[in-house]
Structure 1
Amino acid sequence: MLSQLSIGIFVRSEEIVASAIELLRGERYALTHIKSAGEFLGFLKHNYHLDCLVLEVDGDLRSLLGKLQERSLFLPAVIFSPQPGEDERAVAPYSDGFEAGTSTPNTSQDESCAFFYHPAEVQLAIARSSEIVAGIDQAIAQFLKLSTPVPVNYQSAKSDATAQLTAQSLLSRQQRRLAEKLRERLGYLGVYYKRNSQIFLKNLSPPEKQKFLEQLKSSYRDIVLNYFSQDTAVNNQIDEFVNLAFFADVPVTQIVEIHMELMDEFAKQLQIEGRSEEILLDYRLTLIDAIAHMCEMYRRSIPKEASQVIR
């Protein structure tokens, strides 16, 4: 059976719940009906493969979404509201596809006041609950094109470049996971990763640059320590490291420098313990692996149109 899209429904309106379950039941979707805020946060904490959220505007929505933003957890979202903004545009009646270029975002990424969660969300009037299938299709299509996750309280987060880069890294992982699922199901061709030059390493202030490089070095240290273990989580660690480096436009020479600094630290420790340093030569594989992952990330970042021109 083709890969199902996992939908989390957390709304208080029985009308919307009934309509959603009726319209989404079948082999295409796997539904989870969540009934409380505590259950909602607990579910997302332990479920990293959710493909889309269906939410409803109420007094607790901003607080709830704020907690997701604090965790840099961004997902496609359809948000039902009694009266969406006057700018609301009709949802295009997609069939079973998410082809690039078919969606029209309700808001631009600069119109921060127009969204609750992130600029790629889809807002629908409760009276239009029958359009939920098209809404999910549009939410996923827009999410895959989202270049920067702008939180509701983005003014405070904007001052911390490391937090932005972490959020960008986690967003790209979620986009890639979802794109891979759609490729399996629909032959979707992937994601074009756009980067924000304002948070490139070379453009950070000295304190921000130091903080980010410390985080990057700590991430690489974890990779080195686990690289030859049986822990399969090391692949995710490499992905996280490469995503951080990619969105900060970190040059390869900087990654080599981080590697050499760690090897020098380990060599000194081995000398103190009276052990041979030859084992450190094996960790050249770690550096090669990280650089190979980064090359793949850059390959993915080239839009389909540009890659065809290059060929």
Structure 2
Amino acid sequence: MGGSPRGLVPQLSIGIFVRSEEIARSAIELLTGERYALTHIKSAVEFLEFLKHNYHLDCLVFEVDLDRRELLSKLQARSIFLPAVIFSSQPGEDGRLEAPPSDGFEAAARTADQSQEQSCAFFYHPAEVQLPIAQSRSIAASIDRAIAQFLKLSTPVPVNDQSAKIDATAQLTAQSLLSRQQRRLAEKLRERLGYLGVYYKRNSQIFLRNLPSPEKQKFLEQLKSSYRDIVLNYFSEDTAVNNQIDEFVNLAFFADVPVTQVVEIHMELMDEFAKQLKLEGRSEEILLDYRLTLIDAIAHLCEMYRRSIPKETSQGRR
């Protein structure tokens, strides 16, 4: 089904993918209005196709069954993470399935830190909200809570012995994609609610300086490859370069890469290009223009560090 008429403020895009037509109709009825743009998805194929063309889904409403668990596993494997409300027929032992507060997104944001990462018993990621079917009328408040918890999610998987065995570069890539989605959603909420509560938490286990030598080398090669793509496309009309800069900066930020390392990557790449230009008998002066690429990348990285400081802390330093 299509979304409700566009309001004057940004709508939250909600994808509803549940097996029960009754639950779907109830959720649509409860959420219909100017606040949400709703899409009722009826199959896994339709859902994956929908995601290809709709990168800006703000929350996923899901029902637990075998097929959908497999689909969630595919999303995890692709590092696609979204705020999620998951219907379940059985409440959990830890109380995470209690009805969330009903006084809106800002109230949910105030309590998100208390519940986000309390339990590893999740289907999709630690910030999901599990909602008993019997309490389905709380769907709107649950969406608020799911978004609030998602914005405070520090890592897609809990930091434990199992996650420590996962390839560090894969973890950093997942973290990068997660932060991009968090930033996009936070910007929409800032337009809608003036909400500024985004604080990026990082896992020191996957900082560059703490990685074993083979993983460190592998990550630096990926970072250099990412920067090479930026340089090759920087002066083209390809708007994808903005996403490439975001990807590079996010990877560098979550690995706590020092600015001096970014400069070193830039200089190494310029040396490679200079040798190639010399072989071709061309002037190296063109490479001076790519100082703009380095300045742009460092500026974005500094902005990422600035935004990583909690709002309360930054205010206290003034």
TM over 0.5: yes
Distance in 1 of aligned mates of 2:167 and 2:43:
32
| Residue 233 (structure 2) aligned to one of 218, 226, 233 | 226
Does residue 1:287 correspond to 2:281, yes or no? Answer: no
Letter in 1 for 2:110: G
Equivalents in 1 of 2:228, 2:175: separation in Å?
Answer: 21
Asked if the contact 1:105–1:142 (Cα under 8 Å) also holds between the matched residues in 2, the reply is no
- The residue aligned with 1:165 is 172
Question: What residue is the counterpart of 2:26 in the other structure?
Answer: 19
The 5 Å alignment of 1:1-311 reads 1-88=8-95, 89-95=98-104, 97=106, 100-103=109-112, 106=115, 108=117, 111-112=119-120, 114-150=121-157, 155=162, 158-311=165-318
Same amino acid, percent of matched pairs? 82
Unaligned runs of 5+ in 1: none
TM-score (norm 2): 0.93
TM-score by length of 1: 0.95
Q: CA RMSD in A?
A: 1.7
Q: In structure 2, what is the Cα distance between the partners aligned to 1:99 and 1:228?
A: 43
Distance 1:132 1:9 in 2: 11
Contact 1:200 1:248 in 2 (8 A): yes
- Structure 2 unpaired stretches of 5+: 1-7
1:226 and 1:173 map into 2 onto residues whose CA distance is 20
The one-letter code of the counterpart of 2:303 is: E
Deviation per residue, 1:45-67 (Å, 9 max, x gap):
22210000000011122211110
What per-residue deviation string (whole Å, max 9, x for no partner) do you get for residues 21-75 of structure 1?
A: 1011111000000000111112112221000000001112221111001111100
CA distance in 2, matches of 1:159, 1:225: 31
> Are the counterparts in 1 of residues 58 and 83 from structure 2 also a CA contact under 8 Å?
yes
**What is the CA–CA distance in structure 2 between the aligned matches of 1:55 and 1:252, rounded to whole Å?**
41
Cα distance in 2 between the residues matched to 1:281 and 1:100 = 47
**8 A contact 2:116–2:149 mirrored in 1:** no
Aligned residue for 1:136, secondary structure, equals: helix
CA drift of 1:106 comes to 4.4
